[in-house]
Structure 1
Amino acid sequence: MELRSANPAAQMLAAESWPEDEPTPIYLSLADDGRLQSVCLPQPGMDFKALRNTAIVAILLGAGITAAECRYLRLSDLDIDGIRPDVSVQKRGPRIARRVPLEAFSLKVLREYHDARVKLACQSEWLFLATAAGKPMKDDTLGKYVRLAVQTLEITAADMSPRLLRNTYARRHLHAGRTDEEVANLLGLSSHRTSVRLRQTLDPSFASPECEYESMDSEIG
């Protein structure tokens, strides 16, 4: 269309450079992780919304899924009563489809929420509903519930979003002895980049040989 012959931002970009260092991942300490796990429980007299909000925090912290993956979970994706309770995550974008075992601390509230959700007179298949009409949650709403849960414990972080819980989940598994590849698989990533970055935040004794080579995959946890 010949609207312009030059890039108007060229002079601005000339002074910029690609960052050489990876940004430091945001995560909860192991102690704060344990504190948050301890409140992911159903309480007497909880209404449906309060139970839903607690279940959302529990599944984000207990399965390490992303906000987008959480939004589009279906009732059938949550296997809470099987021998090995897990959640089935569908392929979305670059992340692979996978079944993620649920952490023990999350089971009680997820089981109670699932039972309450099944009883709703709603035809929607979504596991977590934003409205009685069956609309799925939005990312910013999920972030709000995470932020409220973290603030209740008087924990502060630069990024109090579902990403904080995803990184915390991955770091917990690295600390427990999982390899970079195993954690990447749990997160649905095709590279070990996120695992390597999070391992670097642990005590040096947790260093892994896998840290010597990492993919240039752009996926960041």
Structure 2
Amino acid sequence: MRHFAEYSKLFMEYLQIEKNVSPYTIQFYQKDLEIFFAFLKQELVQDLNDVDSRVVRVFLTNLYDEQLSRRSVSRKISSLRSFYKFMEREGITEGNPFVQLTLPKTNKPVPTFLYKEELEKLFDVSDTTKPLGQRNQALIETLYGTGIRVSECRGLRLGDIDFSIGTMFIRGKGRKERYVPFGRFAEIALETYINEGRAELLDKVNDKTDAVFLNARGKPLTERGISTILNKMVEDAAITVHVHPHKLRHTFATHMLNEGADLRIVQELLGHENLSSTQIYTHVTKDYLRDVYLKSHPRAKD
């Protein structure tokens, strides 16, 4: 019989090669399997086929005893269900003890977003006569104007931007690729920055790069660097709410839906694999829908 570590290695190779799962996600799978295998060793279970409903119940009890959140427990169950599905496919196990297990319901946090008045403060805070101000303006117009992730923004290259048709080529999660349009404000900010500010920043280094967004030393911006820039812009704009790069993505989706965009179009723009990931943004539009109702329905108010 193979050792548990060998099964884990087989599964990780499958996730990486066949499923194109990101290294970050693979780390979670690896950790979940390590916890499960440690539990099996503690319970003196030596074969994957010996895991039945009783063993699974004891495992779940241990997880809840550790006061893990429902979300964490759900992820571990999902990881083990996928693992056993792979083992079954490979003929290593004869069944999947996790297949009938109901995932505990999780409370999805409702994403917060910025109102238009708060956004206007951010758009007006940068000194666009200076290279860093031009970069900051292009950065926020890009994040809000396209809804791309901060990691996708960091990975943006000059050749990915097609000004002739107003689209960007985006390399998303799981190596998924998509084209995202951008509007006139982002176009102006990007052209100004690339032709002026970026060229000046690039003169500070010998090693040239085609990364769009650069730091003050002319090197490609990191995700942490983007967060730091945004925090400084928020501070300068005297905005009291907490703002992070992903909040601009939330804001993009919310404003698109508020203005009547089709949910599946927003899903495509955001690069969501499942529509359920996009549907969470419909919850934050309820206040907007209520306002429209109160203003529009003849018997909504006195």
TM category (shorter chain) comes to 0.7 to 0.9
Q: Which runs of 5+ in 2 are unaligned?
A: 5-37, 44-60, 72-105, 292-302
What is the rounded CA distance, in whole Å, between the counterparts of 1:24 and 1:103 in structure 2? Answer: 27
Are the structure 2 counterparts of residues 113 and 40 from structure 1 closer, same or farther at C-alpha, using a change threshold of 3 Å?
farther
Instruction: Determine the structure 2 residue equivalent to 1:53.
Output: 136
What secondary structure does 2:249 align onto? helix
1:26, distance to aligned residue in structure 2 (A): 1.7
Q: CA deviation at 1:93?
A: 1.8
The offset of 1:42, in angstroms, is 6.2
Matches within 5 A, 1:138-217: 138-158=222-242, 160-202=243-285, 203-204=288-289
Residue 209 of structure 2 is aligned with which of 118, 124, 133? Answer: 124
Question: In 2, Cα distance between the equivalents of 1:199 and 1:192?
Answer: 11
Higher relative contact order (CA 8 A, sep 6+): 1
Query: TM-score, normalising length from structure 2?
Result: 0.57
Cα distance per residue 1:13-64 (max 9 Å; x no partner):
324451532112021123323443x4277633x1x22322221122111111
**Matches of 1:147 and 1:131 in 2, distance apart?**
16
Q: For each residue in 1:157-195, what CA deviation from the matched residue of structure 2 results, as whole angstroms up to 9, or x when unmatched?
A: 34x211010110111111111111110110111112343
Please state whether the residue corresponding to 1:93 is helix, strand or coil.
helix
Out of 13, 20, 23, the position equivalent to 2:64 is: 13
More helix by share: 2
Indicate the residue corresponding to 1:209 in structure 2: none
Give the whole-Å Cα distance in 2 for the aligned partners of 1:197 and 1:123: 41
CA distance in 2, matches of 1:170, 1:164: 10
Conserved? CA contact 1:40–1:58, under 8 Å: no
Q: TM-score, normalised by structure 1?
A: 0.75
- Identity percentage over the alignment? 25
Aligned length: 199
Structure 1 segments unaligned to the other structure (5+ residues): 207-221
Q: Alignment RMSD, CA only?
A: 3.2
Summarize the Cα distance change of 1:198–1:151 in structure 2 as closer, same or farther, 3 Å threshold: farther
Q: Does 1:88 align with 2:169?
A: yes
CA distance in structure 2 between the partners assigned to 1:193 and 1:105 by the alignment? 30
Please tell me whether residue 108 in structure 1 is matched to residue 188 in structure 2.
Answer: yes
Check whether the contact 2:127–2:134 (CA below 8 A) recurs between aligned residues: yes
Q: Paired residue for 1:33?
A: 119
- Distance in 2 between the 1:16 and 1:180 partners? 33
Partner of residue 79, structure 1: 162
User: 1:148 deviation in Å?
Assistant: 2.0
Render the CA deviation track for 1:129-166: whole Å, top value 9, x for unaligned: 2364x6422111101112222333322334x2110101
- Alpha carbons of 1:53 and 1:24: their partners in 2 closer, same or farther (altered >3 Å)? same
